[in-house]
Amino acid sequence: MPEFTKALIALCLLMLPPVAVSAAPAFDPDNPPEGLFSQEWMEVYLLGQKVGYSTLTLRRDGDEITTVTKTLMEVKRGAVPMSFETQELTTETLAGEPLGFRAEINMSGQPVVQSGQVADGQLTLTQTQQGRAQSRQLPYPDGALMTWGLMRKTLDLPLEPGASFSEQMYSPSLSTDAALAVDYEVIGPETITLHGEEVPAWRALMTMKLGGSAIPTTIWTDENQRVLKTSANIMGMPMEMVSATQEQAMKGFAPAEIFESNLITLNRAIPADAQEVVYRVTVDGAHPDLNLPEGDYQKVERVGVGEFLVTVTRADHAQLPRTLPKLDMSVWGEYLEPNLILDTQDEKVVEVAHKITGAAQDKVAQADQLRVVVSNYIDDKNLSVGFATASEVARDPQGDCSEHAVLLAAVGRVWGIPSRCVAGLVYLPQMKDASGQLLDNVMGYHMWTQFYLGGQWVDFDAALAESECSPTRLALMTSSLQETSMSELGLALLDLIGQITVEVESVK
């Protein structure tokens, strides 16, 4: 059920490298020694529990510097353990000019790889999953640094209050199309506790910004700019990294439970026969421009900064036109064409799509049949799968809401029905927590599918086996999944997770 904990943890993992860019400068940044010249280890804590480690290595080969950041985290969703591992490699010139990168995230044994080469202001980006590669060219963000370039800026900064710099950073794990704005400022000296000992440190603040989202991280270094500790709040979850030896870093894990910490308790129950629900949604500390998505069955009224009345209505399928209008592919192509996640040309996906019967002209009936097929086809409902592609789900039919949503969106496109996936909240009348205790009237993060039928985007939920969906879902974002990574999905929810409250205003 809690699909978006996967995207959120992906974002947590992939944000670690720029947080810990400084290493002990037992070298001259303008002329470091050949070969491996630095390696740093850090323990990773989430929600106050040690969940993993991160290590950063630096290597010089002639005029090129290679940085490699490896991170391992172990968490739980309810009682289900999950392991996540990432590796991000960058290649840059000695002066810090970007040359290329390779980023891999492995979630539950399903690696996703992004690699790229930078030349003459252009980036050739390749994304690979399950042996399938997809490449494209795009402009490289002007002046954007990678890990070594940003590290040089940090090491060159004097340790004095107010010293600062502002740069652009390219992190393909977070966004393939845009650079992050990075602001770094030295705050001043203070004493911190490190492994039970009081040590002198310098405190700095690094803030990464992408779009309207800002991610502040406090960093403590020693007098040689070696990172001792970092602290940030990611999606409402406190995260810390602490400098350690390799032996310390790689042992003593206590996986944190991440689903229940993001459940939202409602003020009342929602009956099963509800036709319309009005929700009051409040986002603490919201950006003034923050809004929630509107749709054909979700209307949003802003009543203040970060405060909305959202009216969600049940669709009446009997009233929908049964045929599709003619669609302009320049507008609708991204909702009909295959992509890396919705790989609709795969023979196994096509085979699943053709399990339905009946006339293809009645698109509403066809969409319902496809929903039933996917609900029944994924016979192993579990939380252990990472973010799988449609072809992976077709070959190995197991997973939770994301796997249902992705496969349903893909088989719809096989039949020419525009589709997209929706991330948001779903009402759970009752659920068991990790200890077996029953929780009443909560909302959890969820993913489902929308089909474009009769000029309207209509909800279909294969995971919960609903075609004519009840108004118990709050959409927080929609995506065609074209050129979208797990971390980009998580980043889109950055201003909401851990900061959102929901109340039921009225029910019809």
pLDDT band per the 50, 70, 90 thresholds, residue 376 = very high
**296/190 same-domain check:** no
User: Do residue 250 and residue 291 come from a single domain?
Assistant: no
Non-local (6+) Cβ contacts of 35 within 8 A are 59, 60, 61
Domain boundary among 257, 292, 326: 257
Helix intervals (H) in 25-173 = 147-156
Residue-number span of the structural domain to which 286 is assigned:
263-507
Instruction: Indicate if 52 and 133 belong to the same structural domain.
Output: yes
Q: Last residue of a domain, which of 257, 288, 310?
A: 257
39-to-36, 243, 298 alpha-carbon distances in Å: 8, 11, 51
Q: How far is CA 508 from CA 277, 313, 423, in A?
A: 6, 9, 24
CATH number at residue 271: 3.10.620.30
DSSP code per residue over 125-141? EEEEETTEEEEEEEEPP
Identify the pLDDT of residue 420: 96
Residues 10 and 91 grouped into a single domain: yes
Q: Is residue 229 domain-shared with residue 267, that is, in the same domain?
A: no
User: Which one is predicted more confidently, 261 or 409?
Assistant: 409
What are residue 39's DSSP bridge partners? 57
Question: Which band of pLDDT confidence, cut at 50, 70 and 90, is reported for residue 437?
Answer: confident
Q: Do 406 and 318 reside in the same domain of the chain? A: yes
Q: Please report which helix (H) or strand (E) contains residue 44, including its range.
A: strand 35-46
Question: Which among 339, 355, 354, 451 has a CA at the least distance from the CA of 405?
Answer: 451
Is pLDDT of 21 > 80? no
* Residue 24 CB partners (closer than 8 Å, separation 6+): 38, 40, 224, 225, 226
Place of tokens 């290595």: 57
Distance, CA of 107 to CA of 84 (rounded, Å): 5
Q: In the chain, pLDDT over 70 holds for what percent of residues?
A: 87
Same domain, 226 and 279: no
Q: Quick one: pLDDT at residue 1?
A: 39
Question: Does 178 lie in the same domain as 50?
Answer: yes
Model confidence over 214-254: pLDDT tens digits? 788 999 999 888 899 999 887 778 889 999 999 999 999 99
pLDDT attached to residue 163:
96
Query: How many structural domains are present in the chain?
Result: 2
- Whole-angstrom distance, CA of residue 72 vs CA of residue 43: 10
Q: Does residue 22 register a pLDDT over 50?
A: no
Is the domain of 215 the same as that of 294? no
Between CA 53 and CA 244 the distance in angstroms is 9
Q: How far is 56 from 21, CA to CA, in rounded Å?
A: 8
Between residues 219 and 86, the one the model is more confident about: 219
User: Rounded CA gap, 194 and 230, in Å?
Assistant: 11
34-44 pLDDT, tens digit per residue, is 999 999 999 99
Residues 6 or more apart from 325 whose CB is under 8 A from it?
A: 455
Helices 363-377, 401-414: inter-axial angle, 10-degree rounding: 140
Residue whose pair of structure tokens reads 């009348």 in the numeric block? 429
Specify whether 473 is located in the same domain as 331. Answer: yes
- CA separation for the pair 381, 393 (Å, rounded): 12
Q: Show which of 237, 257, 277 is a domain's final residue.
A: 257
How much is the pLDDT for 185? 96
Which residue(s) pair with 177 in the sheet?
none
Model pTM?
0.81
For residue 4, the tally of other CB atoms under 10 A from its CB is: 30
pLDDT of 90 above 70: yes
Judgement on whether residues 75 and 211 belong to the same structural domain of the protein: yes
Per-residue pLDDT of 309-334, as tens digits, reads 999 999 999 999 988 888 899 999 99
In degrees and rounded to multiples of 5, residue 323 shows phi and psi of: -115, 160
Instruction: Give the pLDDT score at 136.
Output: 82
> What's the mean pLDDT in 467-481?
94
Which whole-number Å values give the CA distances from 383 to 83, 149, 404, in the listed order? 12, 39, 12
> Do both 225 and 272 map to the same domain?
no
Higher-pLDDT residue of 447, 24: 447
Q: Is the pLDDT of residue 200 over 90?
A: yes
